[in-house]
Amino acid sequence: MIDREFNVGDSPSVKVRIKSGRVRVAPGESGMVRVLVDTGDPTFEVTQRGDAIVAAGERSGRAEVTVHAPPMIDLDVATASGDITVIPAVSRLDIATASGAVEFDSATRLQVKTASGDVRGKRVDGEARCITVSGDIRILETADRVDVSTASGDITIAESRGSLSAASVSGDIRVDRLLGPELNAKSMSGGVRLGIPPRTRLDLDAHTLSGKMDLPSPSPTPEPPQREMSVKVRLVSGNLRIVRVD
């Protein structure tokens, strides 16, 4: 077992490199980063250079890494088959994993690449980019430009307040509450469902080859719009459904 503590400044960063296992980031004390590693790899090291902490091993053994860190760190994790869980809010979250699942609470900027793992998060305040092959992507709230894509997984955004680009091959795309200025969605066989709040002027450009379109009827008592929104949807066999939400 490795157990090391480091004093850090106001802008610490943590980088973790493991072949398999698990990475968990938990809340820690201000000005300090503690790293615990359970592994049989004798080459595994935890080192510090300035405010940057690096935890990595050269062999392919399994490692369980727990990081106790203050909020708003920069976190960079790469693993082949490890799950990643991030509890405190982070500044930049950069994750690459093949078959591991990713779960986080809040990030200012996000970049995730995974093959078969799911991506689940509560909030992204800045730009976000998520790419997965067969995993699902679910984020509760996004506030800036977001680019998400998957092959067979589903994409769900509970509330989008920025520009959103979503693409899938056979997975469904769902935005429960669309508040941003623009949406660009495309899918081969998956469907698209969008929730549009009232008093929205919608500039809709939608096309599907063999799917159906279900659009809301015009409001009998239209009110002056509070927002304008551009929505572009391209489908092959999937259905498009747009509903009004409160």
pLDDT mean across residues, the chain: 94
Query: Which is more confident, 83 or 217?
Result: 83
pLDDT confidence bin for 221, thresholds 50/70/90: low
Q: Would you state the structure tokens that stand for residue 105, as one six-digit string?
A: 């609470």
200 neighbors 181 (Cβ within 8 angstroms): no
Mean of pLDDT values over 178-199: 95
Q: Answer yes or no: is pLDDT of 10 > 80.
A: yes
Torsion over CA: 207, 212, 214, 218 (sign): positive
pLDDT in tens, 21-66: 999 999 999 999 999 999 998 999 999 999 999 999 877 678 999 9
122/188 Cα distance (integer angstroms): 28
Of 207, 202, 210, nearest to 233 by C-alpha is: 207
* pTM for the predicted model, two decimal places: 0.93
Structural domain boundaries in the chain: 1-99, 118-246
Q: Give the pLDDT score at 65.
A: 97
Query: Which is more confident, 94 or 98?
Result: 94
137/143 Cα distance (integer angstroms): 16
Q: Give the pLDDT score at 155.
A: 98
Q: Which residue has the tokens 């709040």?
A: 197
